[in-house]
């Protein structure tokens, strides 16, 4: 591996976050001033075959080894903060990933049979690879698999690979899991369908994993940075400390899925109380596009319902 580069998420200002918050619940499909995604959800969800089970690997990082790669406010930037009401005298207590917690909440509500959560210090290369091996031995041809990762992205050249530049996810212990490794794992799964979702910089490069009956959700283009919605330890305009969230994940998961704002974002304007992956993407896309361009590679017929 050569020319390895770690691509860190950029940070929204308070004013930028405020403007984006005002776009929640918008735009309606009839709003011609907003550029809408080329792909819209069909409004027709497809359930799993009888007996099918649902499994997920959910990994998210705000706190990396050391401090240089953390998605949180460092102590020197918060020296004037009032921390007297915190369980610790350091705002870095709030340097915890919440993208993984939000997607776990969405999957739990959908009744997933098994969710492996790897958050911050738990999300090492070995732990994620171990989770992948565990699922490989459990999943059958009637089952569904979700792989979600939020953190930093990596690019570099891998010897012997046909691509000029490869992409990877950056794990807690400053190691990498390359797109080729994820693709090879996906090939070994006997799953009926699978979703891979990445909230990282250069996420569009993960489209190599795409194949029939898979949906690949990518927070940004192959040559773009992704942004944070809030840094862990940052102070909101109301004086509250914030946990770390990615901009895309905040719209796609927390608002789109958990708050159900994406329900009805489909071609037939059907509201059913459920949010498909495609609906959540269609909701998040025009909001997030002002900072980064999300990418969807969908080779699953109709909508992918959790």
* pLDDT tens digits, one per residue of 173-195: 999 999 999 999 999 999 999 99
Residue 90: its pLDDT value, please?
56
Query: Residue 257 carries which DSSP code?
Result: I
Residues 152 and 8: beta-carbon distance below 8 Å: yes
What pLDDT does residue 157 have?
Answer: 82
pLDDT on residue 239: 74
pLDDT for residue 272: 87
Question: Could you tell me if residue 35 is left (phi over 0), alpha (psi between -120 and 50 degrees) or otherwise beta?
Answer: beta
Min mean pLDDT across 130-134, 161-165, 208-212, 259-263 is at: 161-165
Map residue 268 onto helix, strand or coil: coil
Instruction: Note the pLDDT of residue 112.
Output: 93
| Tokens encoding 31 | 């709003």
293 vs 33 pLDDT, higher one: 293
pLDDT at 295 over 90: yes
pLDDT score recorded for residue 8: 94
Q: Which tokens hold the place of 28?
A: 């309606």
Q: Name the more confident of 205 and 302.
A: 205
Q: For residue range 15-48, list pLDDT tens digits in order.
A: 898 889 887 765 444 443 334 454 678 888 888 8
Higher pLDDT, 84 or 304: 304
Average pLDDT, the chain: 87
Query: What is the pLDDT at residue 1?
Result: 59
What is the pTM for the complete model shown?
Answer: 0.90
* Mean pLDDT score, 214-239: 90
| Residue 97 reports pLDDT greater than 90 | yes
Q: What angle do CA 224, 227, 228 make, to 5 degrees?
A: 160
| Tokens representing residue 197 in the block | 């979702």
179-188 and 125-136 are packed helices; what angle lies between their axes, rounded to 10 degrees? 20
Provide the CATH number for the domain formed by 2-24+34-43+51-304 in this structure: 3.40.50.1460
pLDDT recorded at residue 18: 87
Domain limits, the chain: 2-24+34-43+51-304
Helix (H) or strand (E) holding 103: helix 99-109
Contacts of 133 (CB under 8 A, 6+ apart): none
Closest CA to 167 of 297, 40, 3, 24: 3
């Amino acid at each position: 591996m050569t020319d390895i580069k770690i691509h860190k998420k950029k940070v929204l200002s308070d004013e930028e976050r405020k403007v984006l918050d005002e776009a929640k619940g918008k735009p309606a499909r009839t709003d011609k001033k907003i550029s809408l995604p080329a792909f819209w959800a069909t409004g027709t969800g497809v359930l799993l075959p009888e007996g099918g089970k649902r499994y997920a690997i959910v990994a998210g990082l705000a706190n990396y080894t050391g401090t240089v790669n953390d998605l949180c406010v460092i102590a020197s930037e918060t020296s004037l903060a009032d921390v007297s009401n915190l369980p610790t005298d350091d705002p870095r207590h709030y340097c915890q990933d919440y993208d993984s917690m939000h997607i776990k909440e969405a999957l739990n509500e959908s009744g997933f049979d098994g969710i492996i959560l790897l958050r911050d210090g738990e999300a090492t290369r070995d732990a994620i690879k171990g989770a992948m091996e565990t699922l490989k031995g459990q999943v059958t041809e009637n089952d569904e698999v979700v792989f979600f990762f939020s953190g930093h992205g990596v690019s570099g050249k891998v010897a012997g690979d046909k691509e000029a530049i490869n992409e990877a996810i950056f794990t807690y212990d400053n190691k990498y899991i390359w797109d080729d490794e994820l693709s090879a794992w996906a090939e070994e799964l006997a799953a009926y369908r699978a979703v891979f979702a990445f909230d990282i910089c250069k996420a569009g490069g993960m489209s190599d994993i795409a194949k029939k009956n898979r949906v690949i959700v990518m927070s940004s283009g192959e040559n773009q940075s992704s942004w944070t919605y809030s840094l862990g330890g940052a102070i909101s305009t109301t004086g509250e400390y914030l946990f770390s969230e990615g901009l895309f994940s905040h719209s796609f998961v927390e608002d789109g899925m958990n708050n159900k704002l994406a329900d009805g974002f489909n071609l037939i304007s059907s509201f059913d109380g459920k949010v498909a992956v495609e609906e959540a993407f269609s909701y998040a896309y025009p909001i997030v596009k002002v900072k980064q361009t999300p990418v969807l590679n969908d080779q699953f017929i109709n909508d992918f319902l959790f």
